[in-house]
Amino acid sequence: MNVINKIKTHSWQLEKIVFFLFLALLVWMPLPVGSNRVWFLSIAEIWLFILSIILLFIYWQDKLEIPEVFKKAKVIHYLFIGYLGFIFFQLIPLPAFIVDLISPRRLTSFRLMFPEGNWLSLSENHHESLMFFIESVLYYLVFVFTLLLVNTRERIKLLTWTIIYSALFQAMYGSLMTLSGAEYGFFFEKYAYRGVTTGTFINRNHLAGYLNMGLAVGIGVLISGLGKDEVLRTARHWYRKVVQLLLSKKAQLRVYIALCTIALVLTHSRMGNTAFFVSLTIASLLALKLTTHARKTMMFLVISIFIIDVLIVSAWFGLDKVADRLEKTSVATEQRDEVALYTIKQWQDYFITGSGGATYQYIFPAYRGYEIKQYYDHTHNDILEFASETGLIGISLLISIVFLSLYAAIKALSLRREPLMIGLAFTATMAILALSIHSLVDFNLQIPANAATFMVILALAWIARFYKIKS
């Protein structure tokens, strides 16, 4: 009994430990090639599942307070649970006549191997879809953990600065490797994308996606720290304001944003850079239209990012090369559009229920044309890949989750008055737009580190909309 009482007494401290271990997980996942290998992803899954057990124990001890925002986001819980339930349904053996009704193509492929078989699942690869289901549970738990544990002003700041510093590390490490010629990734010499910045990721586009989210968080934090617009009538007032700015943490954060922008340019990722500037522009226009918080200062901040980061700093580090890649991009030089068209044909054959989670690489070879010589394990379009694997049902649920979270963020820009919440709303709006744009031509959401960070972003949208900060 004494041991149990001691455990109950220390449940509050245990909850804090879980929170910091959760932050550590968010830092860890990008490091080993974005956790885009089975063994690294397994570490993250085991890590979070253990924390989930501890959190359930704390809840059992009545020491875990369920925040109001967790309840307000119930529509996302229902959608995500429905999505997970559907993925699990893809794994369940069904009678052949039922599969023939909802996925005739699946039954046809099954009959080629088992002419007399009468029971089969909707997934074309049961093992891969099972791993996909477990991975999807991980992402939902990241969303849940963010809503449950990020419940004070201090924790919001710790979470945002954790993402900022993680992105800053990726930016500085990747830039150093590129500019020095050392060309090392995660403890091994790079074998791909040499000469461009990849950080500890393998693909430059995936680092660009991660930096886009980190930059969105950084700019949001900067906006949350802006004071009210004031008229500076004298040179003395201007001087005092400039000195205060240079000595404040805002100046440090501004430098961090510049460094991350440089690294983004050094990736030479066409859509990564395009997504950043387009999402920043749209989010800024929405913020200036919907919120009354420091409008003039915010406008000058955004203009400074475009002028200083793009026209001056980034020009020294290869922005012209990104522009050159964009100019040379054409239908003749790119196969992604053709791959997308073949993927649409693939989806049409598995339209309602999909071919099963993580089965794209096994199904696509049967659909690609003779002109596609390269091996594609992903379609370079997250929306089409999820659609082909999970069908109309799965992609509808996922799009609903993202759209409702974006709506919550935009609504927060309009209704919230607290600077911290406005900053979070800006972060969520910009990051969701950036990843959505980038996902049209790449597969950031197939990379565990990026997908997990994106789930944090979605949770921040709901925090911005509904959280009532305790302290």
What's residue 349's pLDDT? Answer: 96
What's residue 250's pLDDT? Answer: 79
Mean pLDDT of 218-236: 71
What's residue 330's pLDDT? Answer: 47
The answer, yes or no, to whether residue 6 has pLDDT greater than 60, is no
What's residue 1's pLDDT? Answer: 46
Tell me what percent of the residues of the chain surpass a pLDDT of 90.
67
What's residue 70's pLDDT? Answer: 96
Q: What is the largest CA-CA distance in the chain?
A: 89
Residue 380, sorted as left (phi over 0), alpha (psi -120 to 50) or beta, turns out to be left
Percentages helix, strand, coil for the chain, rounded to the nearest 5? 75, 0, 25
What's residue 252's pLDDT? Answer: 86
Contacts of 93 (CB under 8 A, 6+ apart): 119, 120, 121
The answer, yes or no, to whether residue 332 has pLDDT greater than 50, is no
Q: For residue 361, what are the β-bridge partners?
A: none
Say which residue, 269 or 236, is predicted with more confidence.
269
The answer, yes or no, to whether residue 246 has pLDDT greater than 60, is no
Helix, strand or coil, per DSSP, at residue 200: coil
Tokens 């150093």 belong to residue: 176
What is the reported pTM?
A: 0.92
- Confidence category of residue 331, pLDDT binned at 50, 70, 90: very low
Mean per-residue pLDDT of the chain: 88
- Confidence category of residue 76, pLDDT binned at 50, 70, 90: very high
Say which residue, 196 or 62, is predicted with more confidence.
196
Say which residue, 305 or 93, is predicted with more confidence.
93
| Highest mean pLDDT out of 230-244, 344-358, 362-376 | 344-358
- Encoded amino acid at 359, one letter: T
What's residue 314's pLDDT? Answer: 59
* Least confident window among 147-156, 321-330, 371-380, 436-445: 321-330
The answer, yes or no, to whether residue 467 has pLDDT greater than 70, is yes
What's residue 469's pLDDT? Answer: 65
What's residue 191's pLDDT? Answer: 82
Give per-residue pLDDT as tens, 120-139.
999 999 999 999 999 999 99
Give the C-alpha separation, 216 to 276, whole Å.
Answer: 9
The answer, yes or no, to whether residue 232 has pLDDT greater than 50, is no
Mean pLDDT of 270-287: 92
What's residue 319's pLDDT? Answer: 58
The answer, yes or no, to whether residue 255 has pLDDT greater than 60, is yes
How is residue 11 written in tokens? 């449940």
The answer, yes or no, to whether residue 112 has pLDDT greater than 80, is yes
Contacts of 345 (CB under 8 A, 6+ apart): 367
Give whole-number Cα distances, 388 to 36, 154, 345, 385, in Å.
21, 42, 9, 5
* Least confident window among 281-290, 301-310, 437-446: 301-310
What's residue 166's pLDDT? Answer: 98
- Confidence category of residue 237, pLDDT binned at 50, 70, 90: low
Do residues 301 and 226 touch, judged by C-beta distance below 8 A? yes
What's residue 297's pLDDT? Answer: 76
What's residue 187's pLDDT? Answer: 75
How is residue 203 written in tokens? 């693909």
What's residue 192's pLDDT? Answer: 83
